[in-house]
Amino acid sequence: MMDRTTQAVERQVRAMQVDVFEIGLYKPAKDPASTYAEMLPRVWGVDVLIKAVPWLKFQNTDGRNIYIRPKGEHALSLVDDLTVEALNRMKATGFTPAIVVETSPGNFQAWLNHGRILPRTLSSAAARALAEQFGGDRGSADWRHYGRLAGFTNRKEIRRQEDGRFPFVRLVHADGAVYQKATEFLQRIEAGLEVLRRDADRRRQRAQTQLHQNTVLKTIDDFRRDSRYGGDGNRVDLAYAVYAISHGVPEEQVRIDIRSRDLNHKGNEKRQADYVDRTIEKALRAFDGRGR
């Protein structure tokens, strides 16, 4: 007879319908003032993962949170930090999740099955759109974000219960089914990406006509060294974003460049993502105003 943790793990990974997984065993820093934390990664197939449950249980007891994600491109989107109301709305509107995991009392993660493997850009766009539509965590919305593996305890200190124990991550639902609105939803996301691609191409072409062929573009580090900004990271990010977008640099690259500095002072991942989004939006408005 399998124990309940093994049963939960097997049900979840079978429903995810993925051959190879990346498992992340994360131990937070013991001292809140410390930045030291550990991530122990593993890459396993389904059978090896199930056999490794006793070892994962030991690591979980030793303070590690157990996370899972598909390796490589896949057909799933993770929507994190959902309420019961959000889950009910998903079901009522044709977005029934393939898997629902309760990560702590009243807090849920949902995996949606799109019915086909998505390329990375489309996968990230779909995850962001789902998070926005159902009130999930935008900071966790990308093509390869980790979700929790059911059957183990949530070792976040803020989740510790009054009796001193940590709550179990509970598998609520796992049928692996494709949600009803998958085709319609993906068509909408693909159409939106095509509009963005065409807009970017137009901006790039317009910018290229204004530049000499041998012009070397400035990097964000050039802006950071520029004394005019006085080391103000926010001013640097915005100035660089306006410059880069006006010179045809893809928005995704601008996002990566802005994130090349430490944004932890902005708060958690969601707040950092919101800051980058706001900076890009301001830059686009500034460029469009100049281009008219």
Q: What is the pLDDT of residue 292?
A: 36
Q: Where in the chain is the domain with CATH 3.30.70.1790?
A: 4-184
**pLDDT average, residue stretch 255-278:** 91
Give me the mean pLDDT over the 229-251 stretch: 91
In this predicted structure, the answer to whether residue 271 has a pLDDT above a threshold of 50 is yes
What pLDDT score does 5 carry?
96
Domain with CATH 1.10.1240.50 in the chain: 211-291
pLDDT in tens, 211-231: 544 567 899 999 999 999 999
Q: What is the rounded average pLDDT of the residues 188-213?
A: 77
pLDDT bin (cut points 50, 70, 90) of residue 72 is very high
Given a cut of 80, is residue 177 above it in pLDDT? yes
Task: Give yes or no for residue 141 having a pLDDT over 70.
Answer: yes
Higher pLDDT, 70 or 160: 70
pLDDT score for 208: 63
Q: Give the E-state strand segments of 114-255 in sequence order.
A: 147-148, 170-174
With a cut of 60, say whether residue 33 has pLDDT above it.
Answer: no
Architecture of the structural domain at 4-184: 2-Layer Sandwich (3.30)
* Nearest alpha carbon to residue 149 among 166, 127, 171: 171
Least confident of 116-120, 171-175, 184-188, 197-201: 197-201
Question: What pLDDT does 178 receive?
Answer: 98
* Alpha-carbon gap, residue 10 to 47, rounded angstroms: 9
DSSP label at residue 168: B
Q: pLDDT digit string (tens) for 83-110?
A: 999 999 999 999 999 999 999 999 999 9
Rounded Cα–Cα distance for residues 83 and 134 (Å): 9
What's the whole-model pTM score?
A: 0.71
Mean pLDDT of 263-280: 91
Q: How far is CA 190 from the centre of its chain?
A: 19
- Reduced to 3 states, what is the DSSP secondary structure of residue 77? strand
% pLDDT > 70, the chain: 91
Least confident of 146-160, 194-208, 243-257, 260-274: 194-208
Which of 55-69, 74-88, 187-201 has the least mean pLDDT? 187-201
pLDDT at 209: 59
Q: What's the per-residue H, E or C state across 2-24? A: CCHHHHHHHHHHHHHCCCEEEEE
User: What was the pLDDT predicted at 207?
Assistant: 65
Q: What percent of the chain has pLDDT over 90?
A: 74
Q: What is the pLDDT of residue 173?
A: 98
User: What is the pLDDT at residue 196?
Assistant: 86
Does domain 211-291 bear CATH number 1.10.1240.50? Answer: yes
> What's the one-letter identity of residue 158?
I
Q: How confident is the model at residue 289 (pLDDT cuts 50, 70, 90)?
A: low
Report the residue count for the chain.
292
> Comparing 27-41, 132-146, 167-181, which segment has the lowest mean pLDDT?
27-41
User: pLDDT value at position 205?
Assistant: 72
Confidence band for 198, pLDDT divided at 50, 70 and 90: confident
Q: Give Cα separations from 59 to 42, 158, 273 (angstroms).
A: 13, 19, 31
